[in-house]
Structure 1
């Protein structure tokens, strides 16, 4: 049937709607920028821990503050809450909670716990501390439109004081689960016990460890689905692929320090000089203070001279580092929730073959896994390009 042109009145109405929507978006962006600008002068006060901050049960809310520049049609808060390390030591963690406006569905909103990709390991690299704490939550707008509440942890050692925890799976997994607990305390009846775990890269590892630990660590939570994009699931493969490039220097700087902080007192031989060269140890303090996205040029400037001379031996075959890389690789425990894995075929950081091997391993454990391999997707773009498939899959497996 031939489409009829409806004339200038229709055209005017159409463009009026477009302009109204555009105006609302501009206003929302302006409000967010204005809100962030107003909050910046006092932002450091929030990240200072009260003397008794770590006293209490994991997931307990220490404090919260409303964010003035929340995304369109939503409310948001910074939170500080209690969690644990991989060894069970108490820590204090920060993060962000976002909830859409509108009626709460019967039984409360499903909570999506977001695990962010690598931003660095220093305090200032925490997403919640950034000028726009929401920009890095991939798929946030679509998740809010579905009525989900979203909580995003910064991970231990970022935002507020704590040990470095980069790629320490047990710590990151606990941080994600305890973030859900803290969000539920904050939101009350708005938040249900239904949880979706969603993470990219480093956050994919965190989401997988959260899923593997949930039954024992947080049995009150109902993990409905787990979705990951280019997950750092196989640390042996990840490190092996980048032993002699700048990615290996950057990842290694963050990770070896975190492993030393976490396991140095409990695992013999976990000292930095047992795996890193003197040149590597010399640059470590500055490398670990630099945030990935805002300091990429400086990271390359100080890291590239030690490429090929970063480690004294291959950490993927040198105990105890090889054992720690294996211990912090996902897949040791199967979980009941369905799993979605997305991998970009042009990803130069997380090698597609490693993700394919991980998926095969999970399926061999009897898990339900959907695997989307996305042509042309890089490590940076894969989470966004995976969203249509991931959201369709979520509707099917959760009924949301």
Structure 2
């Protein structure tokens, strides 16, 4: 089965999703809800065991509706979490049609921005999963195969991984392994990492973990847009509005679950009570209901400062990327009109990476918001990838 030509609708949905992240009207949210309707097949039912070699593909199916001139699959593959426990991941793989170049295609492992943390919020569980894959058309035109992970706990059951850097990073690397398993000789061992927002944090952790976790891959470069870097200041800075409360609900719920940290040491009683409801909603596709619960908590969500309250300060620091210099070139794009990930935070991260010895290209984009930066930066990302993938 070859992918059909429904990609113009996906392009419209990308624009709507970007507008949402920038903070737009409920009317546009309603349109986005229609475009991101859920997948209704049986691919995710009765998933197989997670036990086995990381990167092993345990199930795949051809997926309809992708870009013209490409073939797409939904995939289930094995990975591990931050403690080394076997976990199952779901995701997408898209390959350009036609003969692969000599030596095989370079694989781009794409890490998605925040869509939620519940199983149903996985991008691959959308009937049109390509809408979430920023830059997909350009990447395919340059001949790359593009693979993605939904992250552990999304798509199929598993421990929560929201902003758990080591788990996300392993998932991103295992997605690349899975792509090579599906494509065989059509894929090379060359890998590029690409992520936006939460996905920027995931891609950076994948870059940090590469040589010790997946040394058989040849990671040539990593590109990130508005990455979630210094997590404690990020959460504190954004907590004054409904978007910040929504994202913080995912993060504190995940850390409480993964690290057994007491929620009542950082959240108010009202926030603790609301958390199970909030984390059941997906960002973008259920904004109206999520924000209805989050809005009354603005100004009364945190009971302490995440930068100084333990164990939260330590946990957030441990999940902040940048522990050491990266062994490959890094491209960082940042919208100068971004009110979620502040330009000052990204500039500080870039400066620190340069101090550590990472080869960094920094691209601050005037007028770009948190929602629009990934797409606005794509021409520069494609040039960067072309330079490092040769």
> What's the TM-score once normalised by structure 2's chain length?
0.90
Instruction: Note the C-alpha offset of 1:30.
Output: 8.0
Taking the aligned partners of 1:120 and 1:257, their CA distance within structure 2 comes to: 11
Instruction: Note the C-alpha offset of 1:195.
Output: 0.3
Taking the aligned partners of 1:77 and 1:330, their CA distance within structure 2 comes to: 30
What residue in structure 2 maps to residue 373 of structure 1?
Answer: 364
Instruction: Note the C-alpha offset of 1:285.
Output: 1.2
Instruction: Note the C-alpha offset of 1:276.
Output: 1.4
Taking the aligned partners of 1:83 and 1:41, their CA distance within structure 2 comes to: 23
Query: Structure 1 pair 358/321, CA: closer, same or farther in 2 (3 Å)?
Result: same
User: How many pairs are equivalent?
Assistant: 363
What residue in structure 2 maps to residue 246 of structure 1?
Answer: 242
Query: Do the aligned partners of 1:115 and 1:198 also contact (CA within 8 Å) in 2?
Result: yes
**2:285 aligned to 294, 297, 301, which one?**
294
1:1-80 to structure 2, matched below 5 A, reads 28-29=5-6, 43=41, 45-51=42-48, 53-80=49-76
Instruction: Note the C-alpha offset of 1:49.
Output: 4.0
Instruction: Note the C-alpha offset of 1:41.
Output: 7.6
Taking the aligned partners of 1:233 and 1:41, their CA distance within structure 2 comes to: 32
Query: Do the aligned partners of 2:39 and 2:127 also contact (CA within 8 Å) in 1?
Result: no
Taking the aligned partners of 2:7 and 2:144, their CA distance within structure 1 comes to: 24
Instruction: Choose 1 or 2 for highest CA Rg.
Output: 1
Taking the aligned partners of 1:291 and 1:190, their CA distance within structure 2 comes to: 35
Query: Structure 1 pair 30/355, CA: closer, same or farther in 2 (3 Å)?
Result: closer
Instruction: Note the C-alpha offset of 1:390.
Output: 1.5
Instruction: Note the C-alpha offset of 1:167.
Output: 0.5
Query: Structure 1 pair 393/40, CA: closer, same or farther in 2 (3 Å)?
Result: closer
Determine if the alignment matches structure 1 residue 349 to structure 2 residue 340.
yes
Instruction: Note the C-alpha offset of 1:42.
Output: 5.2
Instruction: Note the C-alpha offset of 1:328.
Output: 0.4
Query: Do the aligned partners of 1:32 and 1:69 also contact (CA within 8 Å) in 2?
Result: no
Q: Unaligned regions of 5+ residues in structure 2, if any?
A: 11-34
Taking the aligned partners of 1:77 and 1:59, their CA distance within structure 2 comes to: 15
**2:230 aligned to 217, 231, 234, which one?**
234
Query: Structure 1 pair 254/107, CA: closer, same or farther in 2 (3 Å)?
Result: same
Q: Unaligned regions of 5+ residues in structure 1, if any?
A: 1-24, 265-269
User: Relative contact order: is structure 1 or structure 2 higher (C-alpha 8 Å, sep ≥ 6)?
Assistant: 2
After superposition, the C-alpha distances for 1:1-43 in whole angstroms (9 at most, x for unaligned) are xxxxxxxxxxxxxxxxxxxxxxxx9x7118999xxx9x97852
What residue in structure 2 maps to residue 97 of structure 1?
Answer: 93
Determine if the alignment matches structure 1 residue 156 to structure 2 residue 133.
no
What residue in structure 1 maps to residue 16 of structure 2?
Answer: none
| Other structure's SS at 1:257 match | helix
Query: Do the aligned partners of 1:32 and 1:70 also contact (CA within 8 Å) in 2?
Result: no
Determine if the alignment matches structure 1 residue 363 to structure 2 residue 354.
yes
| Other structure's SS at 1:329 match | coil
What residue in structure 2 maps to residue 396 of structure 1?
Answer: 387
Instruction: Note the C-alpha offset of 1:397.
Output: 2.8
1:311-326 to structure 2, matched below 5 A, reads 311-326=302-317
After superposition, the C-alpha distances for 1:29-65 in whole angstroms (9 at most, x for unaligned) are 18999xxx9x97852x2112445x2120111111101
Query: Do the aligned partners of 2:60 and 2:75 also contact (CA within 8 Å) in 1?
Result: yes
| Other structure's SS at 1:47 match | coil
Instruction: Note the C-alpha offset of 1:142.
Output: 0.6
What residue in structure 2 maps to residue 192 of structure 1?
Answer: 188
> What's the TM-score once normalised by structure 1's chain length?
0.87
Query: Structure 1 pair 114/41, CA: closer, same or farther in 2 (3 Å)?
Result: closer
Q: What is the RMSD of the two structures over their aligned residues, measured on CA atoms?
A: 1.9
Instruction: Note the C-alpha offset of 1:68.
Output: 2.3
Deviating above 4 A after TM superposition, structure 1's stretches of 4 or more consecutive aligned residues are: 30-33, 39-42
Query: Structure 1 pair 32/64, CA: closer, same or farther in 2 (3 Å)?
Result: farther
**1:134 aligned to 130, 133, 138, which one?**
130
What residue in structure 1 maps to residue 25 of structure 2?
Answer: none
After superposition, the C-alpha distances for 1:161-190 in whole angstroms (9 at most, x for unaligned) are 111111110010000000111111111111
Instruction: Note the C-alpha offset of 1:308.
Output: 1.4
After superposition, the C-alpha distances for 1:272-327 in whole angstroms (9 at most, x for unaligned) are 12211110111111111111111112222111111111121111211110011110
